[in-house]
Amino acid sequence: MVHPFSRADRAEHAARFERVDAAMAAVRREGFLPEQWRREAHLDQPFELVAGQTCSQPTTVRAMLALLDPQTGDAVLDVGSGSGWTTALLAHLVGATGTVHGVELREDLAAWGGQNVAAAGMPWAQVHQAEPGILGWPAAAPYQRILVSADATEVPAQLTDQLADGGRMVLPVHGTMMVVEAHDGTAAVVRTAGSYRFVPLR
Ligand SMILES: C[S@@+](CC[C@H](N)C(=O)[O-])C[C@H]1O[C@@H](n2cnc3c(N)ncnc32)[C@H](O)[C@@H]1O
């Protein structure tokens, strides 16, 4: 059978998942779940954090991080940081020469998720509470990578404005996972990658 991807493409694809799997092994989900769910952290399902907001399902997080493919030293924005798990995973992936800014709309989750991230011991990652009417965290832009864990109604210009030239954003739009890349001042969807259910981006 003729494979549509070259051997080099397949090796790169496998390497991306290996990096993500290593991060998921190093940054355990248990530390980012409310007490009552910790013993079930290994289950491939979302868990409620508070008021319908969830810690995403591991296979979804894995797929999104592999699409995002953050590199050592990258500046990353994590929109909808919730429990802080994705923020900490991103921090592991970019390493101490990178930076990760998690941003969360809910005050209680921003505080709790921020504590969880701090406890993970990677001070190059921090969580902010979103400022009213502002999407993302423009103060630290531009970012080489942006991860969005809530469902948008369109690709938000406020976020593409925070993307560095050559940067990449992964986000669900109306339930479809999209990969957006910025080149020469223009951001465009370069790929769609399956259907997912997320809480809405507000
Ligand atoms: C699926 S949940 C949390 C995912 C998180 N990455 C995790 O694994 O715990 C999505 C989060 O997005 C937050 N959210 C929704 N709209 C937002 C916005 N405009 N800015 C920041 N956070 C937002 C919600 O409050 C919710 O906590």
| Residues 196, 175 contacting (CB under 8 angstroms) | yes
Mean pLDDT along residues 22-29: 97
Displacement of CA 15 from its chain's centroid (Å): 18
60: Cβ below 6 Å to ligand 1? no
Lowest mean pLDDT among 28-42, 100-114, 141-155, 179-193: 28-42
143: Cβ below 6 Å to ligand 1? no
Question: What distance in angstroms lies between residue 196's CA and the mean position of ligand 1's atoms?
Answer: 15
pLDDT for 152 beyond 90: yes
Predicted confidence band of residue 3 (pLDDT cuts 50, 70, 90):
low
Residue 165's pLDDT is what? 97
C-alpha–C-alpha distance, residues 153 and 178, integer Å:
12
pLDDT for 5 beyond 80: no
Read off the pLDDT of residues 114-131 as tens digits, 9 standing for 90 and up. Answer: 999 999 999 999 999 999
Tell which wins on pLDDT, 129 or 11.
129
Mean pLDDT along residues 89-110: 97
Q: Kindly indicate whether the domain formed by 3-195 is annotated with CATH number 3.40.50.150.
A: yes
> What number of other Cβ atoms are within 10 A of residue 3's Cβ?
8
Average pLDDT, the chain: 94
Catalytic site residue 149?
no
Residue 52's pLDDT is what? 82
The closest of 102, 46, 60, 108 to 77, measured between CA atoms, is 102
pLDDT for 2 beyond 70: no
82: Cβ below 6 Å to ligand 1? yes
Read off the pLDDT of residues 30-84 as tens digits, 9 standing for 90 and up. Answer: 999 988 888 989 998 888 888 888 888 999 999 999 999 999 999 999 999 999 9
C-alpha–C-alpha distance, residues 99 and 2, integer Å:
41
Mean pLDDT along residues 89-113: 97
Q: Which of 106, 117, 169, 171 to mutate for ligand 1's pocket (most ligand atoms within 8 Å of CB)?
A: 106
Residue 117's pLDDT is what? 98
Question: What distance in angstroms lies between residue 51's CA and the mean position of ligand 1's atoms?
Answer: 12
Helical packing angle, 85-94 and 7-26, nearest 10°? 120
Q: What percent of the chain has pLDDT over 70?
A: 98
Residue with tokens 């995403």: 56
